[in-house]
Structure 1
Amino acid sequence: MLQNQVVYLDCYDGITAPLLLGALFEMGLDLNVLKKAMDALPLPDHTITSQKQYTPVRGSSATLTLTTPETLSPWKLAETPVLLPPGMLKEPVRQHVLSMVQRIAEATGRVRNISVKDVQLPDMTPLLWFIAVTLGLDMLNLHTLYASPLPMPSGTQQGPQGHKPLLLPETLELLAGTGATWRPTTIGRELITLEGAALLAELASFEPVNFSMTQVAYGCVPGNNASDGGQSLRLCLGNLSPSSRRAPQPAPSLVQTTQGQAEAETDWVTVLETNIDNMSGELLGGLLDHLLELGALDVSYTPMQMKKNRPATLIRVIAPPELGEQLAMSLLRETTTLGVRFQHMQRLKARREPRTIQTSFGPMLVKVKYLGEQLISASPEYEECARVARERNIPLADVYEVARSAVQTLIIGSRKKV
């Protein structure tokens, strides 16, 4: 598994879902592990394959094919949430997939002047691509993606209803407003598919980035004949430099304390804030649980006063940097706010580990705090104390006192060793 890395997608030849998945296979994604994860989902029967390729460059290809005729019926995009209920996938993966489907539905609806709920595609193959690619990125622990400027071909292609631009209107509409930058190209074929555009719009940032490259992989689709040179995508893996416009990734490091003995880890988090003055307590309670389910590290509410003397609530969310934009979008969708503030912040943090200690009530679990290898403090675990209190039918406060006493013995013993 790749840890704390940033991905730069060099889309010199465009981007498609097969190219991106092929690059992930070349980067080390295990085909059998991905197959097993996909097979565990109630999805249409399909096959996923990968092969080493040497044209147009050395890399890997990826194919995904529906295998039963009944799955080739039209796919109504509005029905996708029913196909992917909570619990089927890790929630961040599921949310990304649903968001990509929604992006396609909205872009297609605008171009065709139809309702989003009426948008449909010929079959569910794009949905399977979205799941496969997003699962693959998650399995490799790649959560921060940047993309290069995109090639914009000129010319047209023959479609069922006549000639269409090589860059389909739906594809261009999908990328509008994402910050994507474009460069003209003389390549006379479709370079960016609808699925490729949706993956970029949802998962990647187009802002400039400085990074040190550690690994390169290519996704490839070989040509069909001598005049067709095929297509490829370059995936660069690296680490953000300090001058990058985004926050550095939360790669933990160690910082020596002034005592010269203990060490603290450092990492980066994204802090989101918004003010709410017109939501009920019930809705705010449900929001907090939902944000934590999506991967927020912490969520807090602070009473405040807003304009017109209205009592209000400051919502503060602490999140891993790679989830910052997703959680900000959740706040915009699920609250009455019109804007979300965010900033990237570095933090020092102690290491916390569970540990079992002996007490007069038997073995109990406590939380132990370390700086480096030095034990700094420990505290009783609430759920553990509540369990003992229920089992013995004694006051919770009494269990806490016993646990605290055992914790103090643990701390004193640790300091004597030092």
Structure 2
Amino acid sequence: MTSAQPPHLAAALRHRGYLLSWWPWRALAYVLTTVPIAGVLSVGLLVVGAPLLAAVNAVRQHDRPVSLPLALFLAVGTLIVVALAPLVSAAVAALERWRLGVVDGRPVPARPWSGLAARYTSADAWREAAYAALLGSVVPLAYWVYLLLVLVDLMLVASPWLAGDADQVIVVWSTVDTPAEAAPYAIVGVLLLPVLWYGLGVVAAAQAAMARRLLGSAGDTAALREVTRSRARLVDSYEAERRRIERDLHDAAQPRLTSLTLQLGLARLDVPEDSPAARPLAVAHEQAKGLMVLLRQIVHGIRPQSLTDLGLAGAVRELAGEATIPVTVHADLDRPLPETVETTAWYAVSEALNNVTRHAAATRAEVRLARAGDRLVVEVSDDGRGGADPARGTGLTGLADRVGAAGGRLLLASPPGGPTLVRVELPCR
């Protein structure tokens, strides 16, 4: 069963089939295209950095002061680098935002040129300069360490062929004379190849995360954070208002309607059947009973009573028992869940099972509830005909909106011919 395409490399690294996908090759392309950019920037930093390190080393070893020409060179060079950094980083940042699309499909808004003075006064410009400095210093160092690990592994793999020469071959910390002695090292080297292939993705993902953090707008990040907080406040306010309405309906309207129904029932017993008032009274009694059933359904729709009485696992098992096909429930919930999460998860299972019953032509279904770190994972699968499409109805779309309002996400896998899997992930903060 296929899942949704990961939006970026960091998400793809968590998928089981990462090594067999196109993502490692995209990571390789991102790393290879970084090499010339980082190389040019590192040469520029070395022009000032190498003499500075040499001067510091001389002072530490010989306890001699720095000569005046060298001090002037370092001071002027540092000033030139600082003065050129906001200008050079503008071109580097524009290229990096475009290149980031190789491993991250999420767009990074470009910053329009706002004048020369703004390059030296805005925080965003100096964030770009910081990224250029890291690209010319930390990134090449990380690449050299990774390249060294690759060369060591290739030496392990090639050691049986190298050991066939007349000279002795040193493999890591041992000396081998024959291909048979080198064979265990070669096996270890072959087993490490997938690890290094995966490690390349980790290096590329770390660089991409650094680029997104420094090249993204600080203002946009703050605005997005405030939108997230505002949405959380709205959800909390909705839940508080929902509980108030539920309490008012349950404690005020429902008892009075029950009393009215009983009074009408008693009145029917006192009125003869041939009386002109008997039929209108019977109609009023039936309408009152229907209204009471409707009110119970409304209260149940706001927050199912089974959630309060049985908890999420018990309420889902009750849903499974009401389904028209066999439904198996697997629940692994070791800690209490927030009320909002429980309600959203219950509606997700209810809507998914309703879709299975109405559209899937399935013979059985399965529901899984589990905690994965700080998230609740809800999966509903069936053996039906598949082909579920949110565009053909409002059920899945409305469910996705409800899950999104709770800060979660909904994933759907439903190839033609089935099976179908609906996966809901909800944060349990």
What range is the shorter-chain TM-score in?
A: under 0.3
Higher helix share: 2
State the structure with more CA Rg: 2
TM-score by length of 1: 0.22
Higher strand share: 1
TM-score by length of 2: 0.22
